[in-house]
């Protein structure tokens, strides 16, 4: 059945255009690239924060609200008796026209009603701590219009967690100041905070409100605030309760006339001794300066042009032309964009991640790096140092850290035994992209303790050692609290529903729980580490680790193979998991992915059999599920994985994140047709075409999980945006399918394609060089026959790096 469509891609403008506000779920975008961030839905819902969605939440948001996505930055337009919003919500007055264009770090929402067009451009200017909302009102009718315009933002009392729960205190702390057209939010500034926020408009106002109850009314809602409905601001001054910011402006527009208003939501920090300009009065100097930088349409347009130029540059680093629009738009635009977003937020703030739960994940952020490192390498470099600084001297590490403090999170702690390996994965990607080996000499502390610094290289070494010092009875890696699969909790044994599987006891005494996923990860990253050591002339260290890698390969072949696929794990008691001998979950995807990427036993046919088993048992219409058959009951020895109903999340959901692992395995095995078939199934642009209603979530980015074949509604997506899928999809398509792979000494060319692939060209900026690489597949799935660089033949598959512009021709 043909599914309803809510929008379409506009590749020329790099936008997704939503034409119906009633999407099956809020379809959001992210604003801001470094310090100040916002989430914005297609109806202008969402919120803003500075650096950390938990500790510095600027505007309030209620997750899981009814109706969904309630609260945001709202403009109310009262035109006679009609009140409407350009983004349809919250009034839901039917519009004559609606459009939301989500672009690269900006969103433009346009609504029309009764001859008036209201268009709002939302973005965060580069290097500035504010969100710009440029509202353009246009009279398209033949009569003069007298409109009453109300803006609206609701302040969060900074800590998003306590804001949602500590009402006995919160309702007495709220404080604001009003000065001209600017409303300042200064709750807790009188004590320890050195920051405040403001909401400004670059026009005289005829009234305002700062107290929510006065503005909305105790028994009204955002859909019908009393002040707006009556067309009368109350000029309220908030003391405690819930402070808000609303400007009231009377606008007269002649036929054909249009007016711009620049609204600014800003964040300011002051030095301790410069906090006040008079007793109780905040020092507004920096706010005035920021406002002055953006107080005209021209200044705002210039700031917007700078933002667009940034994205022009970023998206010029890797560009492909295959003639397949669906592929090109994901590679050239949306996949790279999502990689920037996951790099910025890790798993902290989305419409599925509340921003108060998880900060930056150790393994998550390392994986995100491979999707981002080509974009802004210096930021990737800093990230690697930040992550490594949360490691412990024994190579273990904090599983998460807070972006504001960069300190490890004690609630979750450590003990996830895959974590250390990811540091090698991220660092190697950085060095291959940049050629910057100096990062390895950076002095990096343990657990952020000054005085404990050792080189980053030393951190990599102890990461590798952590695996070999924690082997189990089959000489496979002990799993610890969990490996990549946070829900495979083999040492936790919980019957208490008040315990979180993620933090409950991790019994290490006597455990035999081993992971084949970590085994494969160790072999892949171990080979990388060995190559790096050789490159550095550390031949003894290379030899030492090569032995450990060889031993791991031997252990997998001996005790990690089930006949047709790789086992998943051994449990606490040393019993097989992911084996034909099990009643349920006989096969898991993670170990197939990692052991095929590691090519373990390829010579004995293990890789091919494992990949075939993925097709046979895991694949379905929407992708490959995580395990098969799904668990139908809770298993005390396995933990959270078996807590999910069949087909969801880690219990046989399609975890998009690990589909690319198998796809890479396919490409290494030279099976281009299979690799492509798997890839296209979870490529958003293909899903967009067929399944907008079923899929529900944003069709322009990957989501973490799509309900699997055992679910009630297979194909339904959840957890959009913040997922390692972004980086893995990028890594897979850019390096393994299209085959352009950064290496220490140049770019390795090794595509793996479906046999129907046509000639294509990749423009790749790499360090100080620019390559135009044209590939002639000639029907081959794999295997480069010849390469020429600027007309001269190249030996092997690596184009040696040299600065400047180059033309490369590749024949397969
Ligand atoms: C989810 C995992 C997630 C973990 C940690 C679990 O409930 O299923 O996907 O990684 O929580 O937050
Ligand atoms: C989401 C987490 O962010 C990630 O770290 C984990 O690997 C996957 N879920 C699988 O459990």
pLDDT value of position 409? 87
Quick check: 620 pLDDT over 80?
A: yes
Please report the pLDDT score of residue 45 as a whole number. Answer: 98
Spatial contact of 489 and 453, defined as CB atoms under 8 Å apart: no
Question: 434: which 2 tokens?
Answer: 């940049």
CB distance 247 to 181 below 8 Å: yes
Residue-wise pLDDT tens digits, 729-773:
999 999 999 999 999 999 999 999 999 999 999 999 999 999 999
Q: Give which of 284, 254, 24, 251 is closest to 135, Cα–Cα.
A: 251
Nearest CA to ligand 1 atom 10: 486
Distance 363 CA to ligand 2 centre (A): 8
Among 352, 364, 643, 721, residue to substitute to test ligand 2 (most atoms within 8 Å of Cβ) = 364
Task: Tell me how far apart the 2 most distant CA atoms of the chain are, in Å.
Answer: 84
Q: What is the pLDDT of residue 180?
A: 98
Q: Tokens in use for 672?
A: 């281009």
What is the share, in percent, of the chain residues with pLDDT greater than 90? 96
Q: Which atom of ligand 2 is nearest to the CA of 347?
A: 3
Measured in Å, residue 682 CA sits from the centre of ligand 2 at 18
User: Does 237 have pLDDT greater than 90?
Assistant: yes
Residue 99 is predicted with a pLDDT of: 98
Rounded CA separation 402/454 (Å): 22
pLDDT in tens, 628-646: 999 999 999 999 999 999 9
The answer to whether 558 and 578 are in contact (CB under 8 A) is no
pLDDT tens, position by position, 53-111: 999 999 999 999 999 999 999 999 999 999 999 999 999 999 999 999 999 999 999 99
Atom of ligand 1 nearest to the CA of 486: 10
The whole-number pLDDT of residue 615 equals 98
* Shortest-distance ligand to the CA of residue 644: 1
Which protein residue has the closest C-alpha to ligand 1 atom 4?
Answer: 486
How remote is the CA of residue 664 from the centroid of ligand 2, in Å? 19
Chain segment 189-212, per-residue pLDDT in tens: 999 999 999 999 999 999 999 999
Higher pLDDT, 348 or 532: 532
CA atoms of 73 and 64, how far apart (whole Å): 18
The ligand minimizing its distance to the Cα of 501 is 1
Contacts of 216 (CB under 8 A, 6+ apart): 222, 225, 226, 227
Predicted pLDDT at 402: 85
**Per-residue model confidence (pLDDT) at position 404:** 85
For 248-278, how does the pLDDT look when each residue is reduced to its tens digit (9 = 90+)?
A: 999 999 999 999 999 999 999 999 999 999 9
Tell me the best of 502, 590, 722, 725 to mutate to test the pocket of ligand 1, counting ligand atoms within 8 Å of each CB and taking the most. Answer: 502
CA of 359 to the centre of ligand 2 (A): 13
CB burial of residue 560 (10 Å; 0-12, 13-18, 19+)? buried
Across 589-598, average pLDDT: 98
- Ligand 2 atom nearest 486 alpha carbon: 11
What six digits make up the tokens of 403?
Answer: 């972006």
Is the pLDDT confidence value at 154 over 80? Answer: yes
| Residue 347 alpha carbon, nearest atom of ligand 1 | 12
Residue 481 token pair? 């609290």
Give the residue, by CA position, lying nearest to ligand 1 atom 5: 486
Q: What is the pLDDT of residues 545-569, one digit of tens each?
A: 999 999 999 999 999 999 999 999 9
- As a whole number, mean pLDDT of residues 121-138 equals 98
User: Nearest ligand, CA of residue 346?
Assistant: 2
State pTM to two decimals.
Answer: 0.98
Please state, for a pLDDT cut of 70, what percent of the chain lies above it.
100
Nearest atom (ligand 2) to Cα of 482: 11
Only one residue has tokens 């060095």, namely 431
Give the HSE-up count for residue 73: Cα atoms under 13 Å, Cβ half-sphere: 27
Spatial separation of the C-alpha atoms in residues 233 and 223, rounded to whole Å: 16
Residues 472 and 425: their CA atoms lie apart, in Å, by: 23
> Atom 5 in ligand 2: which residue has the minimum CA distance?
364
Residue ranges around ligand 2 (CB below 6 Å): 347, 361, 363-364, 484-487, 650
User: How many C-beta atoms surround the C-beta of residue 224 within 10 A?
Assistant: 15
Local confidence band at 1 (pLDDT 50, 70, 90 cut-offs):
low
Give me the catalytic one of 52, 211, 486, 750. Answer: 486
Ligand 1 centre to CA of 486 (Å) is 6
The 10s digit of each residue's pLDDT in 432-468 is: 999 999 999 999 999 999 999 999 999 999 999 999 9
Banded pLDDT at 3 (limits 50, 70, 90): confident
Residue 705's nearest CA partner among 584, 582, 589, 579 is: 589
How far is it, in rounded angstroms, from Cα 652 to Cα 639?
Answer: 15
Q: Collect all residues with Cβ–Cβ distance below 8 Å to 277 and sequence separation of at least 6.
A: 283, 284, 285
Assess whether pLDDT exceeds 90 at residue 283: yes
Residue 550 annotated to the active site: no
Model confidence band, residue 365 (pLDDT cutoffs 50, 70, 90): very high
- Helices (H) and strands (E) counted in the chain, each on its own, are 21, 44
Nearest C-alpha neighbor of 23 from the set 67, 62, 56: 67
Q: What is the pLDDT of residues 219-229, one digit of tens each?
A: 999 999 999 99
Note the pLDDT of residue 251: 98
Mean pLDDT of the chain: 97
Distances in Å between the Cα of 555 and the Cα atoms of 333, 471, 549, 613 are 42, 11, 10, 21
Round the CA-based radius of gyration of the chain to a whole number and report it: 28
- Could you tell me which of 540, 522, 531 has the C-alpha nearest to residue 463? 522
Residue 358 Cα: closest atom of ligand 2: 3
Measure the N-to-C terminal CA separation of the chain; round to a whole number of Å.
40
Ligand nearest to the CA of 728: 2
Distance 587 CA to ligand 1 centre (A): 20
The whole-number pLDDT of residue 662 equals 98
With a Cβ cut-off of 6 Å, ligand 1 is lined by 358, 486-487, 502, 640, 649-650
Distance 70 CA to ligand 2 centre (A): 28
Instruction: Give the distance (Å) from ligand 2 centre to CA of residue 604.
Output: 32
Q: What span, in angstroms and rounded, lies between the C-alpha atoms of 487 and 281?
A: 51
Residue 149 has pLDDT above 80, yes or no: yes
Nearest ligand to the C-alpha atom of residue 657? 2
CA-nearest residue, atom 7 of ligand 2: 484
- From the CA of 719, give the closest atom in ligand 1: 9
Distance CA 229, CA 211 (A): 16
Q: What is the rounded distance in angstroms from the CA atom of residue 720 to the CA atom of residue 705?
A: 8
């Amino acid at each position: 059945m043909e599914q309803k469509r809510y929008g379409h891609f506009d590749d020329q403008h790099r936008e997704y255009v939503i034409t119906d506000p009633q999407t099956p779920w809020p379809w959001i975008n992210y604003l801001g690239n470094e310090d100040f961030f916002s989430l914005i839905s297609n109806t202008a819902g969402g919120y803003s924060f500075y650096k950390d969605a938990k500790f510095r939440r600027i505007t309030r948001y209620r997750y899981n609200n009814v109706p969904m996505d309630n609260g945001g930055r709202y403009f109310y337009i009262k035109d006679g008796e009609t009140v409407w919003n350009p983004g349809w919500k919250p009034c839901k007055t039917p519009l004559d026209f609606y459009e939301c264009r989500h672009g690269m770090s900006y969103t433009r929402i346009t609504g029309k009603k009764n001859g008036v067009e209201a268009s709002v451009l939302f973005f965060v200017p580069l290097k500035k701590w504010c969100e710009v909302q440029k509202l353009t009102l246009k009279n398209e009718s033949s009569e003069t219009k007298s409109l009453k315009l109300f803006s609206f933002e609701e302040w969060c009392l900074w800590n998003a967690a306590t804001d949602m729960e500590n009402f006995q205190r919160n309702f007495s702390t709220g404080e604001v100041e009003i000065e001209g057209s600017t409303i300042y939010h200064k709750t807790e500034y009188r004590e320890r905070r050195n920051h405040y926020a403001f909401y400004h408009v670059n026009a005289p106002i005829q009234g305002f409100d700062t107290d929510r109850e006065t503005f909305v009314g105790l028994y009204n809602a955002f859909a019908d605030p009393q002040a707006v409905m009556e067309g009368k601001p109350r000029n309220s001054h908030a003391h405690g309760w819930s402070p808000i910011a609303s400007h009231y402006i009377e606008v007269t527009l002649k036929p054909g006339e249009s007016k711009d208003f620049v609204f600014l939501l800003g964040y300011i920090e002051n030095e301790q001794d410069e906090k006040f300009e008079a007793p109780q009065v905040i020092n507004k100097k920096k706010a005035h300066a920021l406002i002055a930088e953006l107080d005209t349409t021209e200044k705002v347009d210039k700031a917007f042009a700078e933002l667009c130029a940034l994205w022009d540059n970023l998206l010029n680093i890797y560009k492909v032309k295959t003639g397949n629009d669906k592929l090109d738009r994901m590679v050239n635009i949306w996949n790279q964009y999502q990689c920037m977003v996951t790099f910025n937020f890790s798993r902290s703030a989305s419409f599925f991640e509340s921003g108060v739960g998880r900060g930056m994940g150790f393994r998550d952020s390392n994986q995100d790096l491979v999707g981002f490192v080509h974009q802004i390498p210096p930021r990737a470099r800093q990230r690697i140092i930040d992550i490594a600084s949360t490691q412990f001297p024994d190579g273990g590490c904090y599983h998460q850290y807070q972006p504001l403090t960069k300190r490890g999170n004690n609630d979750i702690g450590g003990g996830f035994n895959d974590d250390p390996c990811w540091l090698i994965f991220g660092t190697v990607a950085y060095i291959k992209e940049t050629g910057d080996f100096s990062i390895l000499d950076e002095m990096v502390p343990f657990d952020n303790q000054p005085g404990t610094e050792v080189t980053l290289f030393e951190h990599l070494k102890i990461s590798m050692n952590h695996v070999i010092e924690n082997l189990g009875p089959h000489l496979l890696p002990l799993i610890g609290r969990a490996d990549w699969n946070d829900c495979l909790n083999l040492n936790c044994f919980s019957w208490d529903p008040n315990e979180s599987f993620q933090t409950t006891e991790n019994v290490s005494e006597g455990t035999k729980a081993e992971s084949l996923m970590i085994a494969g990860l160790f072999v892949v990253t171990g080979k990388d580490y060995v190559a790096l050591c050789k490159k550095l002339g550390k031949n003894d260290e290379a030899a030492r680790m090569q032995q450990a890698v060889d031993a791991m390969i031997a252990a997998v072949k001996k005790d990690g193979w089930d006949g047709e696929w790789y086992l998943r794990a051994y449990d606490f008691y040393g019993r097989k998991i992911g084996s034909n001998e099990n009643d349920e979950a006989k096969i898991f995807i993670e170990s197939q992915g990692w052991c095929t990427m590691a090519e373990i036993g390829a010579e004995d046919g293990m890789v091919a059999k494992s990949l075939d088993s993925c097709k046979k048992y895991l694949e379905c219409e929407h992708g490959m599920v995580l395990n098969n058959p799904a668990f139908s009951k809770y298993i005390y020895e396995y933990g959270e994985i078996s807590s999910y109903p069949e087909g969801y999340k880690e219990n046989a959901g399609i975890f998009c994140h690990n589909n690319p692992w198998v796809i890479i395995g396919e490409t290494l095995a030279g099976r281009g047709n299979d690799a492509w078939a798997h890839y296209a199934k979870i490529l958003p642009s293909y899903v967009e075409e067929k399944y907008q209603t079923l899929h529900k979530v944003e069709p322009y980015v990957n989501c973490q999980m799509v309900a699997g074949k055992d679910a009630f509604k297979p194909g339904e997506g959840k957890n959009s945006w913040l997922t390692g899928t972004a980086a893995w999809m990028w890594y897979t398509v850019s390096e393994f399918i299209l085959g352009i792979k950064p290496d220490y000494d140049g770019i390795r060319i090794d595509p793996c394609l479906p046999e129907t692939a046509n000639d294509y060209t990749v423009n790749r900026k790499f360090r100080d060089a620019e390559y135009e690489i044209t590939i002639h597949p000639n029907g081959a799935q794999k295997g480069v026959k010849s390469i020429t660089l600027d007309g001269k033949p190249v030996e092997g598959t690596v184009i040696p790096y040299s600065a400047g512009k180059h033309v490369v021709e590749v024949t397969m």
